[in-house]
Structure 1
Amino acid sequence: MPEPKQAPMNVLFITADQWRGECLSARGHPTVRTPNLDALAKDGVLFRNHFANTAPCGPSRASLHTGMYLQNHRSATNGTPLDARHTNWAKEAARIGYDPVLFGYTDTSQDPRAEDPESPWLLTYEGPLPGIRPICMMGTWPTPWTDDLKKRGYEVPADIRYAYGHRAPGPEYEDGAAVPRPLVYPNEVDDTAFLTNRLMEYIGDATKPFVAHLSLLRPHPPFVAPEPYNAMYDPENVPGFARRATVEEEAAQHPWLEHQLGRKLFRAPADEKKLRRLKAVYYGLMSEVDAALGRVFAFLKETGRWDNTLIVFTSDHGEQMGDRWLLGKCGWFDASYHIPLIVRDPKPAADGTRGTVVDRFTENVDIMPTMLDFIGAETPVQCDGKSLMPFLRDGKAPANWRREAHWEYDFRDPADDSAEKRLGLTLHQCTMNILRGDRYKYVHFTHLPPLFFDLEKDPHEFENLAAKPEYLPLVLEHAQKLLSWRMNHDEQTLTHIALTDDGPVERKAARY
């Protein structure tokens, strides 16, 4: 008998901005509750050791969308153009007939060589990913959402950028209020609800297989949540902070950390009550995202799309949230790069792996190959990552799978040379590379001293062992591993092709 006809396959690719990897109740987090993502993990695969490849948003999303390490795509900062010659998952999906669509943002800095000189996308780093069709695009300027609020009779700030953090009147928690001040708008109409509603409208009207990217801002700052999520977690009961007793002791670990802690933008507030309020609201925003995604998952089931839709949930990077006296995302810290990843493959071939947890190291560069593998598109040579489909179908890692996670942080700022002056660097020396294994982490700077940590003995990375004689063999081993990794992942788009008397000869091969 002929095989039953396969239903058209859809892809729902979800990112929630700035979400720390341990913050899922499925991971046993002591405070935050995420029942809908827990259910997704139970019906899919949870990747416990998943890492972003860089930070902040723009560079990290460049890696996420192109499958390339920063060393190759070179969109190093928010605003560094992404070279137009690189392809991405949206372009590749479009090649085989899909219409990739966007709800939210991709933070793609456009290549000025490929744009009209008068293009508005040259005035912002928040451009759309080439090849994607924005249906509801909103980032710093949430115009579709604020327009909707106005239609509903709500007032919005004159500068609509502040709508995300527009709080109800009254004192703040650290000034005596019983709970953190809520967003002035009800959770039924806030930015998270607005975007997920628009996504469901699109899916409900779709007559062809879809590939949709839902890019939610939350739990990214401003740390202001609508009721009841503002009061869901008691600031006094959130976990404490992994840091030295004082900022000065923390800063003494390394010149770069001293510089970073000297920047007001990245310094955590000295008022611990305020910091606890920020963390409690951060968790509340996660629970709100979880509830919104629960509505999306229920909608997929109600409309008969649950069993033909690949769902990928991850983030672009994490959040320090007071650890090491820092806010935001930066440096070599796990808190900034360890992020969640849950993938639900709807096909029967994945039934044997549902509810499993993968401990092998996975990275954001693996997302593009995975989605393309699922829809039957070829993975471009440019991709540094590999498809995760073997984990979803076979439940085990392919041969030669990576044994460490890798990331790169570029702290250059073309508009500000303070780091260069303070650290004695040039613009192009403001970089660090990280190799993070099960036990050891090695941090290499272009022109500053290295760092080496024993994570088994020192999980918070307080003691730098790089200069201790007994650790020098391990430091050398990891420096060589890092060098080999970079060499192995040098850009190679055309290196598998040779021009011969018989014309171009091509032979593709795995990177590792």
Structure 2
Amino acid sequence: MSKPKNVLWIMADQLRFDYLSCYGHPHLHTPNIDRLAARGVRFTNAYVQSPICGPSRMSSYTGRYTRSHGATWNGFPLRVGEPTLGDHLREIGVRPVIVGKTHMVADTKGMEWLGIDPGSTIGISISECGFEPYERDDGMHPYGPYDPDPAYNRALQEAGVEGDNPWEEHANSAAGDDGERLSGWLLKYANLPADVPEELSETPYMTRRAMQFMEEAGDAPWLCHLSFIKPHWPYIVPAPYHDMYGPEHILPPVRAEAEKVTDHPVFRAFIESRICRSFARDEVRERVIPAYMGLIKQIDDQMGVLLGWMEERGLFETTMIVFTSDHGDYLGDHWMGEKDLFHEPSVKVPLIVYDPRPEADDTRGTVRSELVEAIDLAPTFLSYFGGPAKPHILEGRGLEPLLHNRAKPAEWRQYAVSEYDYATRPARQAIGNAQEEARLVMLRDGRWKYVHAEGFRPMLFDLQTDPDELHDLGASRAPEHAAVRARMMVALGRWSRRHHNRITLSPEQIEAMTGKEPPGILIGFWDEAEYEAEFGKPFAERP
């Protein structure tokens, strides 16, 4: 390849894996995303490291589990000094850029303690999760905690969209018959068109900004993280997408009456919360799901614009393209709304990887069922750019063996792990447990999904006989289920005991230190003869 190699990493927020036609949705046709899958590899068992925006993204951006980087829920800052993908790429001359959302909260206290100016080059990098902010946009303007200076709001105003906060007043609201604002925060208005021209809504706007970056980027290699805010709530979409889908396109909810009488305190606390009680109502699903589908259809149409533009400029020859999500959306399945827990609609995501290198030619259009994790992308990107492996920092596994058809099943991971800290959630208030106990860990192997709930019995699902996860076997007295729970608990303990904070020295450096004392230190020698016998020189000539 004569030109520099680049990466376009596309992430849609809160996109379910099964709401794309290439993943089997019968009504929502996404031909442009499907076309990317036909040129790359589509993964069917890709799991995020936490089923909530902030910690999931911090894991993707660091290549580390949430227990390792510590930003375990939304609004928890990523501590100063936590290495990010952007840091690793800058070391090898790659420009890491963000266009869109990160959900990053800067560790301002840590920067103050270290005397780092937040406006300096290093301060901006720390504040933006290692990315260069070509355009940071997390929504919730202008008072959101994630990007207090929203360029998108200014762009709307410059285009003639009125109001102090056109993001909420127009892009995420509808107009009533008398011009009144009907807020997209209210689910009853999800069937109305957002009061903004389609080309000015968030998804087309961010797509154009990514193309502008690629146009201006020059010859140096880059990674562009195009991070769409949608189909994340507010569930409202501009015309013509607002009425493309109707009740006949809504799939029946995946849920069972038995789930409503669960004896598990955590699951019960969530399904009894206001959000979940709302999304369990049919009238809510009938308003929200068509809008959710319209938002996804708009993303697919913009993917067509983007991929066509890249093809015209020959960027497919030099650019790895990844399409994924940070988590899913229950949409009423299992009597739940939003995300939070570990059922497949929440914790499993779409993952499509197009690798332009000839080594990937044999896998184009293929489907892989191995267990992969979101943290696998960081080492994949680092390797793609020719960077050194960093297994002491990056806890994911590079996907090249799967992309290039080199991996054998026995060599790949046996378990996928996801974590959730619900210390700040109403569920903990309902349960009454302590902050440090409000923790869930999912372990999923080829058949079983095990959820450790600190202080309570585990949850267990047999994905082979119960793929919809309707029957919790965590309290089953059957010997075979008890054996699975014991095995999974042992595996979880083994995972939790692995080194995760020994990141300042590489394995090679540690190996070079092995069996040696620091220079000038001699411990345990009896006399000069013993020293000479070990080192082959007189004691007087020691360094």
TM superposition score normalised by structure 2 = 0.84
Specify the alignment match of 1:483 in structure 2: 493
Question: Residues 489 and 454 (structure 1 numbering): CA distance in 2 closer, same or farther, change over 3 Å?
Answer: farther
Of residues 24, 31, 38, the one that matches 1:35 is 31
> Are the counterparts in 2 of residues 42 and 356 from structure 1 also a CA contact under 8 Å?
yes
Aligned-partner SS, 1:327 = coil
> Are the counterparts in 2 of residues 146 and 163 from structure 1 also a CA contact under 8 Å?
no
Q: Structure 2 matches for 1:105-124, cutoff 5 A? A: 105-116=101-112
> Are the counterparts in 2 of residues 146 and 156 from structure 1 also a CA contact under 8 Å?
no
Instruction: Give the whole-Å Cα distance in 1 for the aligned partners of 2:44 and 2:165.
Output: 43
Instruction: Give the whole-Å Cα distance in 2 for the aligned partners of 1:356 and 1:116.
Output: 49
> Are the counterparts in 1 of residues 330 and 346 from structure 2 also a CA contact under 8 Å?
yes
Q: CA deviation at 1:420?
A: 4.4
**Superimposed CA distance per residue, residues 159-180 of structure 1 (whole angstroms, 9 cap, x where no aligned partner):** 744544211325999x9x9992
Of residues 8, 11, 27, the one that matches 1:12 is 8
Specify the alignment match of 2:346 in structure 1: 336
1:82 is aligned to 2:98: no
Aligned-partner SS, 2:376 = helix
> Are the counterparts in 2 of residues 443 and 452 from structure 1 also a CA contact under 8 Å?
yes
Specify the alignment match of 1:66 in structure 2: 62
Aligned-partner SS, 2:153 = helix
Letter of the structure 2 residue corresponding to residue 83 of structure 1: R
Of residues 270, 278, 297, the one that matches 2:307 is 297
Question: Residues 395 and 474 (structure 1 numbering): CA distance in 2 closer, same or farther, change over 3 Å?
Answer: same
Instruction: Give the whole-Å Cα distance in 2 for the aligned partners of 1:212 and 1:448.
Output: 43
**Superimposed CA distance per residue, residues 249-299 of structure 1 (whole angstroms, 9 cap, x where no aligned partner):** 525241112211232234334541331221111111111111111111111
Q: CA deviation at 1:82?
A: 1.3
Of residues 243, 260, 275, the one that matches 1:265 is 275
Question: Residues 172 and 317 (structure 1 numbering): CA distance in 2 closer, same or farther, change over 3 Å?
Answer: closer
Specify the alignment match of 2:141 in structure 1: 141
Of residues 458, 462, 465, the one that matches 2:470 is 462
> Are the counterparts in 2 of residues 91 and 130 from structure 1 also a CA contact under 8 Å?
no
Of residues 448, 452, 459, the one that matches 1:440 is 448
How big is the alpha-carbon RMSD for the aligned residues of Structure 1 and Structure 2? 2.8
Unaligned runs of 5+ in 1: 505-512
Specify the alignment match of 2:202 in structure 1: 191
Instruction: Give the whole-Å Cα distance in 2 for the aligned partners of 1:138 and 1:257.
Output: 33
Aligned-partner SS, 2:33 = helix
> Are the counterparts in 2 of residues 164 and 222 from structure 1 also a CA contact under 8 Å?
no
Question: Residues 330 and 375 (structure 1 numbering): CA distance in 2 closer, same or farther, change over 3 Å?
Answer: same
Instruction: Give the whole-Å Cα distance in 1 for the aligned partners of 2:175 and 2:248.
Output: 22
Specify the alignment match of 2:533 in structure 1: none
Specify the alignment match of 2:399 in structure 1: 388
Instruction: Give the whole-Å Cα distance in 2 for the aligned partners of 1:308 and 1:267.
Output: 48
Of residues 193, 213, 221, the one that matches 2:225 is 213
- The alignment covers a number of residue pairs equal to 489
Question: Residues 285 and 393 (structure 1 numbering): CA distance in 2 closer, same or farther, change over 3 Å?
Answer: same
Specify the alignment match of 2:237 in structure 1: 225
Letter of the structure 2 residue corresponding to residue 23 of structure 1: Y
Specify the alignment match of 1:22 in structure 2: 18
Question: Residues 250 and 164 (structure 1 numbering): CA distance in 2 closer, same or farther, change over 3 Å?
Answer: farther
Question: Residues 190 and 363 (structure 1 numbering): CA distance in 2 closer, same or farther, change over 3 Å?
Answer: same
Q: CA deviation at 1:383?
A: 1.2
Higher helix share: 2
Instruction: Give the whole-Å Cα distance in 1 for the aligned partners of 2:132 and 2:12.
Output: 19
Specify the alignment match of 1:236 in structure 2: 248
Of residues 256, 259, 262, the one that matches 2:266 is 256
Letter of the structure 2 residue corresponding to residue 190 of structure 1: S
Specify the alignment match of 1:474 in structure 2: 484
Question: Residues 189 and 421 (structure 1 numbering): CA distance in 2 closer, same or farther, change over 3 Å?
Answer: closer
Larger Rg: 2
Instruction: Give the whole-Å Cα distance in 2 for the aligned partners of 1:178 and 1:407.
Output: 34
Specify the alignment match of 2:174 in structure 1: 167
Letter of the structure 2 residue corresponding to residue 53 of structure 1: Q
- The worse-fitting range, judged by mean Cα deviation, of 256-265 and 491-500 is 491-500
Specify the alignment match of 1:376 in structure 2: 386
Unaligned runs of 5+ in 2: 120-124, 143-149, 521-543
Aligned-partner SS, 2:460 = strand
Question: Residues 162 and 438 (structure 1 numbering): CA distance in 2 closer, same or farther, change over 3 Å?
Answer: farther
Instruction: Give the whole-Å Cα distance in 2 for the aligned partners of 1:399 and 1:7.
Output: 36
- The worse-fitting range, judged by mean Cα deviation, of 331-340 and 421-430 is 421-430
Specify the alignment match of 2:90 in structure 1: 94
Q: CA deviation at 1:395?
A: 5.4
> Are the counterparts in 1 of residues 21 and 31 from structure 2 also a CA contact under 8 Å?
yes
Aligned-partner SS, 1:311 = strand
> Are the counterparts in 2 of residues 94 and 131 from structure 1 also a CA contact under 8 Å?
no
Instruction: Give the whole-Å Cα distance in 2 for the aligned partners of 1:267 and 1:120.
Output: 42
Question: Residues 397 and 307 (structure 1 numbering): CA distance in 2 closer, same or farther, change over 3 Å?
Answer: farther
Instruction: Give the whole-Å Cα distance in 1 for the aligned partners of 2:16 and 2:427.
Output: 27
Instruction: Give the whole-Å Cα distance in 2 for the aligned partners of 1:421 and 1:237.
Output: 37
Of residues 406, 420, 428, the one that matches 1:409 is 420
Letter of the structure 2 residue corresponding to residue 227 of structure 1: A
Instruction: Give the whole-Å Cα distance in 2 for the aligned partners of 1:21 and 1:111.
Output: 32
Instruction: Give the whole-Å Cα distance in 2 for the aligned partners of 1:281 and 1:334.
Output: 21
Q: CA deviation at 1:366?
A: 0.1
TM superposition score normalised by structure 1 = 0.89
> Are the counterparts in 1 of residues 190 and 235 from structure 2 also a CA contact under 8 Å?
no
Q: CA deviation at 1:343?
A: 0.6
Specify the alignment match of 2:162 in structure 1: 155
- The worse-fitting range, judged by mean Cα deviation, of 237-246 and 300-309 is 237-246
Aligned-partner SS, 2:231 = coil
Letter of the structure 2 residue corresponding to residue 412 of structure 1: A
Q: CA deviation at 1:393?
A: 1.5
Question: Residues 450 and 503 (structure 1 numbering): CA distance in 2 closer, same or farther, change over 3 Å?
Answer: farther
Question: Residues 162 and 389 (structure 1 numbering): CA distance in 2 closer, same or farther, change over 3 Å?
Answer: farther
Q: CA deviation at 1:14?
A: 0.9
Specify the alignment match of 2:192 in structure 1: 181
Specify the alignment match of 2:435 in structure 1: 427
Question: Residues 87 and 20 (structure 1 numbering): CA distance in 2 closer, same or farther, change over 3 Å?
Answer: same
Aligned-partner SS, 1:352 = helix
